[in-house]
Amino acid sequence: MEFKKNNTVILRIEDMSQDGLGIGKAEGYALFVKDTVIGDLAKVKILKTKKNYGFARLEELLEASDKRTEPKCPLARPCGGCQLQMMKYEEQLRWKEQKVRSDLQRLGGFQEIPMEPIQGMENPFRYRNKAQFPIGYDREGKLVAGFYAGRTHTIIPADDCLLGSESNRRILERILDWMEQYGIAAYREDTGKGLVRHALIRSGFATGEIMVCLVINGKQFPRGKELTESLTQIPGMTSITFSSNTRRDNVILGDSYEVLWGQDYITDSIGEIRYQISPLSFYQVNPVQTRRLYRQALEYAGLTGKETVYDLYCGIGTISLFLAQRAGKVFGVEIVPQAVEDARANARLNGITNAEFFAGRAEEIVPRQYREQGIRADVVVVDPPRKGCGEELLETMTAMAPEKIVYVSCDPATLARDLKYLCARGYELKKVRAFDQFPQTVHVETVCLLSNRKPDTKVRVDVDLEDYYRIKDAEKNQN
């Protein structure tokens, strides 16, 4: 059989890719098919072919797998947000746990993986406290808000995402009504014209407070009074702001924001810790699972009240302040200055005095504090972005040789790479646990505990660390 674009074939889905595509084979030729799960028998239409594999679209489901369920959202297929909504939730959890295990084995070289059971959710819907809705036009020229279809910038109208807060629908309706009433144009990517680009909505699940931030293609915000009068009728509305972004790229928010009404932040809490969250703050989108995740990180750290802890990539201090409840001293390091200001404000908000925050690259802050102040961490907690840790930071961590490293990751592949590096330089992987932070999607959060194989060599390690930084300084001077 010849495999060409637009040909249709029938195949059984035997596996799933890392990004949630079903994989089936026809005469040995692999096809990746969106919206299918393992066990499906499907008629598919080929969209793109390579030498040894291709991509296809589900045309007809001939036999449904016992792992399949009917998606709750009618837009699950065209919308690019939920890649796994057609899969039963217990199967999603099994798949994600295996995804973490597979990456650690395949990319990290680990054979015996000390995995604990994945932590799922009782209700895997309505869990998101943040949503970013692009605003534009449909084919008839009508204003719409929704989400981008998979791998495109075509907006699928969706005023009520089942992963987000129910209040989002009322907010979007009022924004679109305001735009239509006063002739406020939506941004058009093809021309770079139009004003309103996105609506960012945050909800404090513990407090009921709501934030709306409109991203605009300009510096002036017309008819702001009329918009605030409409939005403030919604119970819980606390902050209305706008952020100017005139760049023609894929970055959503601008570099700053201005207040139209109310505060420039909302508050929320995770456990006993309260946080102030601005439009630009990074804050975990699933507060239920975040509380569990942070408690697990705290348990892995095994703090007794005497330890010095570094929290690297600390953001607005979410993990730092959890750790400070049981640590002697916590040093948070974050490259974004505004996030550091937020972290300091959050420490004051909670009356926490044993957490200190620094703005800059961890690769520079940590060595400087060791050399100038003799600060050495007993525990390092690291929660990097999807790309993982830079090698320079991993070098710094292993040179400092803390007794424990707690690694929180949102990408199993870069986690596996970094754990391989750390375990080749004196650490042992002791515990791994996946958390379903993002139900219905392919994403998964993981927390790991690493232990120094030689925790009794502190004096030797400190001497080595001085030598390490001396060599690094010499290398920089030569360059």
Backbone angles phi, psi at 101, to 5 degrees: -60, -45
CA–CA dist 364, 367 (Å, integer): 6
Contact 253, 197 (CB under 8 A): no
**Residue 18 CB-density burial (10 A; 0-12 exposed, 13-18 middle, 19+ buried):** exposed
CA–CA dist 38, 22 (Å, integer): 7
Identified catalytic residue from 314, 389, 410, 448: 410
- What kind and span of H or E run contains 379? strand 379-382
CA–CA dist 26, 28 (Å, integer): 5
CA–CA dist 477, 479 (Å, integer): 5
Contact 164, 128 (CB under 8 A): yes
Backbone angles phi, psi at 228, to 5 degrees: -65, -35
Strand positions, DSSP E, 187-270: 196-203, 210-216, 237-244, 258-262, 266-270
Pairing of β 29-33 and β 8-16: unpaired
Q: Read off the tokens for 74.
A: 């009618």
CA–CA dist 37, 94 (Å, integer): 13
410 belongs to the catalytic site: yes
Place of tokens 């395949």: 106
CA–CA dist 446, 383 (Å, integer): 10
Which residues are the active-site residues?
410
